[in-house]
Amino acid sequence: MSLKVDRAHYAPSRPYSDSPQPIGHDATISAPHMHGHACEYLIDYLKPGQRVLDIGSGSGYLTHVLANLVTESPSSDGHPGGQVVGIDHIPELVDMARNNMRKSDQGRKFLKSSQVKFITADGRLGWKEEAPYDAIHVGAAAKELPSVLVDQLRAPGRMFIPVDTEDDDSSLGALGLGGGQYIWVVDKKEDGSVHKEKVFQVSYVPLTDAPRG
């Protein structure tokens, strides 16, 4: 689905290089392989008609890719569409994401139909107005797993989130990984129980307050 979205509309320089690229305001667009990992781990929850929250939406690229997945065609129960909500705490990045998406016919249609929305807010709190979400992608590292985001997951649902934490035996998972910054895959089961697992080590910018001044 990423082939349907021109990364050059979202990365001002070296858009096709497999490395993070600066987009201004001390933010980056993640490397293509990281976006690929995110979609791979979330794919079972990115079906047509489902709802997704993209926290730290930045340039808007992954938001657009996710929208392609959940709006591909009506779901089996006839639900039209699906929706992706992109949230960022830097207003200039939210404006940039909207402008980037307007560079394509498809992007303009997504915005006009509200199948894609960009919101300026503290992503650490999620966006309860559109909850629950079938999938949540977090594009910056949290110091711990935010319970408010787990609360906004549908049951069943899945979150892909980088977490920078000390050793936590309860989340070692199959790889036996210790402390540090790792991608966690967080599953909320149909009965509301939560399972979390570290899957691989990463280096993300942290979830932070909006810059002052």
Give the pLDDT band (50/70/90) at residue 80.
low
pLDDT above 90 for 177: no
What are the structure tokens assigned to 97, written together?
């994401």
Determine the pLDDT at residue 29: 79
Q: Please give the residue that has the higher pLDDT: either 204 or 172.
A: 204
Phi–psi pair at 107, nearest 5 degrees: -60, -40
Name the percent of the chain lying above pLDDT 70: 85
Mean pLDDT, residues 184-196 taken together = 97
Q: Please give the residue that has the higher pLDDT: either 147 or 3.
A: 147
Determine the pLDDT at residue 11: 86
Distance CA 153, CA 164 (A): 21
Is 7-145 in CATH node 3.40.50.150?
A: yes
SS3 53: strand
Residue 99 neighbours by CB under 8 Å, 6+ apart: none
Active site residues: 30
Distance CA 122, CA 203 (A): 21
| pLDDT (tens digit per residue) in 16-54 | 887 888 888 888 878 888 899 999 999 999 999 999 999
CB 56 within 8 A of CB 34: no
What are the structure tokens assigned to 188, written together?
């909320």
For residue 86, how many other CB atoms are within 10 A of its CB?
A: 32
Name the percent of the chain lying above pLDDT 90: 65
Determine the pLDDT at residue 210: 59
Residue 44 neighbours by CB under 8 Å, 6+ apart: 158
pLDDT above 70 for 195: yes
Mean pLDDT, residues 88-105 taken together = 97
Q: Write down the pTM of the prediction.
A: 0.87
**Domain assignments of the chain as residue spans, ordered by start:** 7-145
| pLDDT (tens digit per residue) in 5-16 | 999 899 888 878
